[in-house]
Amino acid sequence: MPVNLNLLPQDLQVNKGLSKVLKTTKSISVIMIVGFIIFCLGMGGLFIINKINLSSVQTNVDKLKVQVKGQESSEQRLILLKDRLDKIASVKSTPNALKNISSIDSFLANVSPSTIMDQADFGATKIDVSFKIGSNEDLVSLMQNVKSTDLFKAVDLYSFDYGPSIGYLIKLSMNNK
């Protein structure tokens, strides 16, 4: 059995109740330090796990941003395509002057070769034409052609001028059928 020697004088010795309290406090503080170290290690582990999760979430966010940008450009192209198709449809639906051009070709086939078509304005519903005619015979031929044609619904004579150096200058407006 071990011998317990106490070399301290009696008045400096710690009493037994206080000694037990100090031993208990020492044990509790060691337990608390170990608990604190475990707590710090746990918090550090949670920090590392959260950092890994955050980096994976950030990677997913970057991927989604790339997808959104791709979809934005696709949507812009679709909108532009739809706009172009609408414009094409509106252009196709507008009446054109192709019928009038073929009508004036048929009309001019019967006109004298010395009659000159000076100006022409082709619209979807009417044609405005200006002729320079050098002789009376060519004028009569043109007027007979106007009278006998059935290509136009109405032919209006807007202007009829005569000059000795030019000849006749006639402006007609022809409405198609």
Cα separation, 107 vs 172, whole angstroms:
13
How much is the pLDDT for 61? 95
Shared domain check, 127 and 69: no
- What value does the mean pLDDT take over residues 43-70? 95
- Please report whether residue 7 resides in a domain: no
Helices and strands (DSSP H and E) totals, the chain:
3, 4
Phi, psi angle pair for 173, to nearest 5°: -120, 120
Shared domain check, 102 and 59: no
Q: Which domain holds residue 141?
A: 98-176
For the stretch 7-53, pLDDT in tens is 767 777 777 888 899 899 999 999 999 999 999 999 999 999 999 99
How much is the pLDDT for 147? 84
- Please report whether residue 9 resides in a domain: no
Q: How many domains does one find in the chain?
A: 2
- What value does the mean pLDDT take over residues 120-145? 85
Cα separation, 80 vs 102, whole angstroms:
36
- What value does the mean pLDDT take over residues 79-83? 93
pLDDT level of residue 1 (50, 70, 90 thresholds): low
Closest CA to 155 of 99, 101, 95, 104: 104
Q: Is the pLDDT of residue 96 over 80?
A: no
- Please report whether residue 86 resides in a domain: yes
Shared domain check, 103 and 45: no
How much is the pLDDT for 45? 96
How much is the pLDDT for 18? 82
